[in-house]
Structure 1
Amino acid sequence: MENTADIMKRLGLKYGNFDEMEKIRIYLEYHPEVFTEDFMELLADRYLNYLTVRKRIKEMWPELCRQNINNFNIIPNDYEKIKEKVFKNRKP
């Protein structure tokens, strides 16, 4: 069984260019036997539960709004009144 350093040498990758998450990703990519049923249940329980996903969305939301504010259609509270006014003044 190869370790991460051997795999990276075989692929021609330099060890110093990777952070810890990248090393873990490469290891898991080349060792599919790690993904047992128990491990996958643990991952799903820890990272795919409602509170974790909700927390991540709350963290990302301000940045998404800042980047994409021009792409959002903001509907005013009095939308129905505006709609009636526009359609009332429209000629057939």
Structure 2
Amino acid sequence: MPVPYVEECNTSMSLVRTAAGDIEEAIQVVRDLLGTETWTGSQATAWETEFDGFATPATNSLGTPLDEAIQTCRDNAAEWQAESAGTGAR
């Protein structure tokens, strides 16, 4: 009986995708707050610049790199499941 790597991977990646969505949403909430001009001045500008320095790469990493990592996980899971069933991966 094959080890259910594919099912386990899909379950885990669903959790990862949900968490990534939550992170993107939180970043957007902060960006919206910054955009409402709740404060102004050099300190506000400096903080917004610092936040963008963190948020932009974080948001970018939740796009294509995350999609590629999830696909790699799924590919590996399919290979390992096939191997555990004794059918080989290819």
Q: Which TM-score band applies after superposition, normalised by the shorter structure?
A: under 0.3
TM-score, scaled to structure 2 = 0.27
Return the structure number with greater helix share: 2
Structure of larger gyration radius: 1
Structure showing greater relative contact order (alpha-carbon pairs closer than 8 Å, 6 or more residues apart)? 2
TM-score, scaled to structure 1 = 0.27
